[in-house]
Amino acid sequence: MKLVGRWLGIQCYKHNGSLHRYWDRGLVLENNEDYIVVATKRAKVIENNGRRWFTKEPAITIFSKKEWWNAICMIKKEGICYYCNIASPSIIEKDLIKYIDYDLDAKLFPNNDIRVLDEKEYAHHRQSMNYGDDLGTILKYQTKQILLRMKNREFPFNDETIKAYYNQYLEMMKRD
């Protein structure tokens, strides 16, 4: 199935199976065996509590199909800001990209500052949703790997790569 050029919805779940968040659309820029790349601009987001909002800036999101992460690369005036969710490998089902969010996040700022976020939420959900030791090991390992990639500006945390995807998105939008 050819997905490049199609709009897909994005569903984020929690470990207990509950829907956490939904984005109404992302334009597929690339789809290979390792990851899917989508672009969003003013996407409508619906939270599990019913709150609705629109994304503020254009973003390129890379959903890993094999590793435990996805990265939202937000195009801001001051530079690209990377927000990486530690999450299950993503799947594509019908017209949706789906994954499970495991709370831990890492953020890379344009000035190369790196922060790990939501460690308390992770600790709470690990216990309340019974993540288990094997899953905990995977998530901690993936977080370390993501921090190393951020520090070294390796894929997907490379500005030139993200700018190329964004330019591809702009070209695709011109054609429509």
**Mean pLDDT value of segment 16-35:** 97
Q: Which of the residues 21, 25, 51, 52 is marked catalytic? A: 21
pLDDT at 1: 60
Question: Residue 105 contacts by C-beta under 8 Å, 6 or more apart in sequence?
Answer: 83, 84, 85, 86, 116, 117, 118
Active site residue 42: no
Q: Is the pLDDT of residue 69 over 80?
A: yes
**Mean pLDDT value of segment 6-30:** 97
**Mean pLDDT value of segment 153-162:** 98
Q: Is 138 exposed, middle or buried (0-12, 13-18, 19+ CB in 10 A)?
A: middle
Mean pLDDT of the chain: 96
- H/E stretch holding 29: strand 19-31
**Which residues, listed in sequence order, are joined to residue 117 by a DSSP beta bridge?**
105
Q: Is the pLDDT of residue 175 over 90?
A: no
pLDDT at 45: 96
